[in-house]
């Protein structure tokens, strides 16, 4: 089954404790991205990657890092989480970038709470 | 910068038509999308329209695009309780790798 898998689904952590949210897709997609969803703000793009070893900032990259060492995985790293990073996070993948009209497939989401 | 705006809530009765509206600012938009998010789930693509089209119909869904006014709408005919969800419009262009989303419209369908 074609899917995008994020882990964990729920996470409560303390300020400053490094964490990683994993994202994996099994569709051989080149384009992957991370979004955060906040009430009244919709989805905002954090980082995206057009291919292995190619990553770029989205609209809200501060406080986040990503890596794309292999095609299927695109982890999101919070080196020193802060309470303003409490949010619902989505990973998405697509065959090509948004300008090519390829459908984006989304993971189930990770609800992160930073206390 | 690019901006996509939607109203936050819409409530309709079962069997009525729903119309969800979206405005955008980027005149170089290439594709405009509608995604649906059911409770506790990720987003799923519903439909899309290319920027040189003005209408697209897909079963109960009709997308209208007014490029001059930068206005996009999604009409759902014969709305059912299973259509209750948050609907996001999004736009992309040729100038970067971003998909820009609106705030989402929460559709509530009452029996």
Q: Using the predicted structure, report yes or no on whether residue A24 has a pLDDT greater than 90.
A: yes
Question: Any idea what the Cα angle at residue A54 is, between residues A62 and A72, rounded to 5°?
Answer: 100
CB-CB contact of B104 with B89 (8 Å): no
A99 and B93 within 8 Å at the Cβ level: the answer is: yes
Reported as a pLDDT band with limits 50, 70 and 90, residue A114 is very high
A41 touches chain B (CB under 8 A): yes
Q: What is the pLDDT of residue A96?
A: 78
B11 touches chain A (CB under 8 A): no
pLDDT in tens, B36-93: 999 888 899 999 898 888 999 999 999 999 999 999 999 999 999 999 999 999 988 7
Q: Which residues partner with B1 through β-bridges?
A: none
Burial B54-91 (b: 16+ CB within 10 A, else e): eeeeeeeebbbbeeeebebbbbbeebeeebbbbbbbbb
A34 touches chain B (CB under 8 A): no
Q: CB under 8 Å to A49, separation ≥6 — which residues? A: A31, A32, A33, A55, A56, A66, A68, A74
Q: Using the predicted structure, report yes or no on whether residue B2 has a pLDDT greater than 90.
A: no
Closest Cα to residue A104, out of B91, B100, B45?
B45
Question: Any idea what the Cα angle at residue A32 is, between residues A29 and A36, rounded to 5°?
Answer: 150
Q: If 0-12 CB within 10 Å is exposed, 13-18 middle and 19+ buried, where does residue A95 land?
A: middle
Among A46-50, A92-96, B7-11, which is the least confidently predicted range?
A92-96
Closest Cα to residue A107, out of A22, A20, A13, A18?
A22
B101 touches chain A (CB under 8 A): yes
Which residue, among A10, A104, A108, A110, would best test binding to B if mutated, counting the most B CBs under 10 Å from its CB?
A104
Q: Which two tokens stand for residue A9?
A: 């689904």
B97 and A48 within 8 Å at the Cβ level: the answer is: yes
pLDDT in tens, A55-105: 999 989 999 999 999 999 999 999 999 999 999 999 999 987 776 767 889
End-to-end Cα separation, chain B, in angstroms: 41
Q: Which residues in chain A are contacts of B4 at CB distance < 8 A?
A: 42
A101 and B104 within 8 Å at the Cβ level: the answer is: no
């Amino acid at each position: 089954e074609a899917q995008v898998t994020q882990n964990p689904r729920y996470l409560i952590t303390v300020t400053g404790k490094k964490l990683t949210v994993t994202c994996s897709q099994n569709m051989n997609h080149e384009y992957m991205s991370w979004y955060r969803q906040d009430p009244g703000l919709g989805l905002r793009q954090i980082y995206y990657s057009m291919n292995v070893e190619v990553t770029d900032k989205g609209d809200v990259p501060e406080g986040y890092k990503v890596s794309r060492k292999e095609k299927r995985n695109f982890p999101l790293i919070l080196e020193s989480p802060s309470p303003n990073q409490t949010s619902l996070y989505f990973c998405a993948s697509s065959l090509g970038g948004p300008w090519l009209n390829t459908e984006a497939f989304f993971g189930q989401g990770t609800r992160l709470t930073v206390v | 910068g690019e901006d996509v705006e939607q109203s936050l809530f819409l409530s309709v009765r079962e069997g009525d038509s729903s119309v969800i509206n979206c405005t955008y600012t980027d005149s170089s938009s290439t594709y405009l999308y509608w995604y649906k998010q059911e409770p506790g789930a990720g987003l799923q693509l519903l439909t899309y329209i290319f920027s040189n089209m003005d209408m697209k119909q897909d079963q109960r869904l009709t997308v209208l695009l007014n490029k001059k006014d930068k206005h996009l709408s999604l009409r759902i005919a014969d709305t059912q309780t299973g259509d209750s969800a948050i609907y996001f419009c999004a736009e992309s262009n040729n100038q970067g790798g971003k998909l820009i989303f609106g705030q989402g419209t929460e559709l509530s369908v009452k029996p």
